[in-house]
Structure 1
Amino acid sequence: MTLGKVAATNKTSGGVQGGLIPTAPPSYEEATAGRGLCSGGYPGYLRDGEMPAEFGWDDANIRRVFIRKVYAILMTQLFITVAIVAVFTFCDPVKMYIQANPGWYWASYAVFFITYLTLSCCTRPRRQFPWNLILLTIFTLSLSYITGMLSSFYNTKSVMICLGITALVCLSVTIFSFQTKIDVTSCQGVLFILLFVLLYCGLFLLIVLPFGYVPWLHAIYAALGSIVFTMFLAFDTQLLIGNRRYAMSPEEYIFAALNIYLDIIYIFSFLLQLFGSEQE
């Protein structure tokens, strides 16, 4: 979303120019008109909910409130996910039940996919309260179930170690994204290429898997996946912060929380595949 900088050019130091009453600054709707376009001849492709930072909000208070809101939602999502993973990992009856009933996994995957497409592709549902929070809650619960079921197949110690590594990685990337002068948001092309490389590696792994499991190939795939989504975490965090080439609109707090949460879950999943040891 493109949000224009508002400048009252017809005002002098006294507030009046040529004896005329200065016009009022444009409203939010007027300032955001044409937000879907890269206005001003600004090059580049924008995802829905992103905007060039040079057209960003000047009010730092709005950005700070936006960041606090996103991280409050994100912490709630992560708390729910960690709780479900802990139950599925430490509670043996629950672990045995979910492993014996894979249908719940596929049902959760379908719910996750539908809610993700709805929140990512449809602007109205993710901005309309309370439907945005309801959809985000369903999305979080479904992805938490998927993550918890995958974790139940791994050794408890491995799950705890990977949770710790994920927390350290996310903390380091967040501090880096806040402090660095490197603009990760300008590297969309690199991330796009790496994502396709990861996709092709996954497809190749699926083709090879029926002929025999190749541990080193799976390790390469998991390492590449963890690196790619760590970079995506830095990208999405800088979109949230602003003051870069692209920034996230303060209206898109659901979209921002969804992206960062998904990055963290993918990092944990790939680290679990890379370092986790399966239960005997």
Structure 2
Amino acid sequence: MSWQPNPPPAGFYPGQQGYGQPQPPYPKQEGYPPQPGSYPPTGASAPPPPQQGYPYPNYPSPPPPYEGSNPAFAPPAPGFASPQSGMYGTAYGDEPLTQNSGETGPFEFSEKTIRHGFIRKVYSILMLQLLISLSFIALFTFHNGTKNYVRGHPEMVWIAFVIVLVTLIAMSCCTNVRRKAPMNFIFLFVFTLAESLILGVISSTYNQDAVLMAVGLCAAVCFGLTLFAFQTKWDFTVMGGVLFVAVIILFLFGIVAAILPGNKTLTLVYASLGALVFCVYLVYDTQMMMGGKHKYSISPEEYIFAALSLYLDVINIFLYLLTIIGIARD
């Protein structure tokens, strides 16, 4: 009896080289195949281990099994949603995780929600600053004892001016000062008190009706500009460089106006340009705070810096309007 090789293994397909063709018998090995009645045969060596493609070494290995036949590659069950899309939202995109159930979790905040909370915080701080400044202005304008005391102690104004410069530089240049609580609130409160003292002293040099007119006109202008900044489609956040150059020119113009005192026309032009520049600055800072569709925006962590910027815009508009009204009444 002659030994014949086994048929091709599963995975070979018709038309493949060697399929269905007679193959030459393998060379006989000593003691193999075993004779009946004795196993293993005496002195017989075990057959070699199967090679790749055994018993046809020259043939390629069968293709890997289909993914569906391997439990590790089982297709997802019906109704399964991957973590990157579907009922759990986008896991690695810009949008946060949301749920279809409509329940709101502690971490389900969108950029719009965060920005609205940031705006409310900024305007709350700004309103408190303006109330403090308005109280100082009213005290120095309508209380003659306070007005006379400050006029007899001019060193208070210089001390307040130094405090304003130090706190303003610290909050503008040091990130930790304006971001770390409660240090940021302490610096902002000290700055507001010193600036309010200077505003009160300046207001005490004008007539009471001129101060009231300046306060009312400033409130109306700032309210209108804020509404304009919220509603307009124009993007003022790209004008940062232009406004910075305008402030430098205005500063140099102010030095010239101070060197030539008594020239009311020059002072009136300077105050008008200053009011115009800071009105545009108010719109610019408001849109920077809003973010959204605008090109540039302030980080929600910079609520102290945003409130400080808006406060400086408002008080500068008030001072320039007070100058214009004072010159016009004189």
TM-score between the two structures when normalised by the length of structure 2: 0.67
Q: Write the mapping of 1:197-212 to structure 2, written as runs, cut at 5 A.
A: 197-209=249-261
Match of 2:111 in 1: 59
Match of 1:253 in 2: 303
Q: State how far apart, in whole Å, the 2-side matches of 1:277 and 1:88 are.
A: 20
Task: Determine if the alignment matches structure 1 residue 184 to structure 2 residue 236.
Answer: yes
Q: Write the mapping of 1:24-35 to structure 2, written as runs, cut at 5 A.
A: none
Asked if the contact 1:80/1:144 (under 8 Å) is kept, the reply is yes
Amino acid of the structure 2 residue aligned with 1:268: F
Match of 2:287 in 1: 238
Q: State how far apart, in whole Å, the 1-side matches of 2:190 and 2:241 are.
A: 32
- Shift, 1:225, TM fit: 0.6
Match of 1:196 in 2: 248
Q: State how far apart, in whole Å, the 2-side matches of 1:80 and 1:134 are.
A: 14
- Shift, 1:16, TM fit: 4.5
Asked if the contact 1:155/1:278 (under 8 Å) is kept, the reply is no
Asked if the contact 1:185/1:235 (under 8 Å) is kept, the reply is yes
Asked if the contact 2:225/2:279 (under 8 Å) is kept, the reply is yes
Judging changes above 3 Å, is the alpha-carbon distance between structure 1 residues 16 and 104 closer, same or farther for their aligned structure 2 residues? closer
Task: Determine if the alignment matches structure 1 residue 133 to structure 2 residue 179.
Answer: no
Tell me the C-alpha RMSD between the 2 structures.
2.1
Q: State how far apart, in whole Å, the 2-side matches of 1:184 and 1:98 are.
A: 41
- Shift, 1:207, TM fit: 2.5
- Shift, 1:190, TM fit: 2.0
Q: Deviations over 1:79-130 (max 9, x none)?
A: 0000110000000010111122111001000000100000011000111110
Q: Deviations over 1:143-167 (max 9, x none)?
A: 0000010000000000000000000
| Stretches of structure 1 lacking an aligned partner (at least 5 in a row) | 1-12, 18-22, 27-56
Q: Which of residues 173, 178, 181 is equivalent to 1:121?
A: 173
Which of structures 1 and 2 has the larger relative contact order (alpha carbons within 8 angstroms, sep 6+)?
1
Task: Determine if the alignment matches structure 1 residue 268 to structure 2 residue 318.
Answer: yes
Asked if the contact 2:287/2:297 (under 8 Å) is kept, the reply is yes
Q: State how far apart, in whole Å, the 2-side matches of 1:146 and 1:114 are.
A: 15
Q: State how far apart, in whole Å, the 1-side matches of 2:220 and 2:295 are.
A: 27
Match of 2:142 in 1: 90
Q: Which of residues 220, 227, 232 is equivalent to 2:276?
A: 227
- Shift, 1:138, TM fit: 0.1
Q: State how far apart, in whole Å, the 2-side matches of 1:157 and 1:206 are.
A: 25
Asked if the contact 1:154/1:277 (under 8 Å) is kept, the reply is no
- Shift, 1:58, TM fit: 5.3
- Shift, 1:73, TM fit: 0.4
| Stretches of structure 2 lacking an aligned partner (at least 5 in a row) | 1-79, 85-89, 94-108
Larger radius of gyration: 2
Asked if the contact 2:137/2:199 (under 8 Å) is kept, the reply is yes
* DSSP-derived class of the 1:224 partner: helix
Asked if the contact 1:119/1:125 (under 8 Å) is kept, the reply is yes
Asked if the contact 2:264/2:327 (under 8 Å) is kept, the reply is no
More helix by share: 1
TM-score between the two structures when normalised by the length of structure 1: 0.78
Amino acid of the structure 2 residue aligned with 1:152: S
Task: Determine if the alignment matches structure 1 residue 15 to structure 2 residue 64.
Answer: no
4+ long deviations beyond 6 Å: none
Judging changes above 3 Å, is the alpha-carbon distance between structure 1 residues 16 and 201 closer, same or farther for their aligned structure 2 residues? closer
Q: Which of residues 172, 176, 181 is equivalent to 2:224?
A: 172
Identity of aligned residues (%): 43
- Shift, 1:279, TM fit: 11
Q: State how far apart, in whole Å, the 2-side matches of 1:122 and 1:235 are.
A: 22
Amino acid of the structure 2 residue aligned with 1:109: F
Q: State how far apart, in whole Å, the 1-side matches of 2:129 and 2:83 are.
A: 51
Q: State how far apart, in whole Å, the 1-side matches of 2:126 and 2:179 are.
A: 17
Q: State how far apart, in whole Å, the 1-side matches of 2:239 and 2:328 are.
A: 36
- Shift, 1:189, TM fit: 2.6
* DSSP-derived class of the 1:251 partner: coil
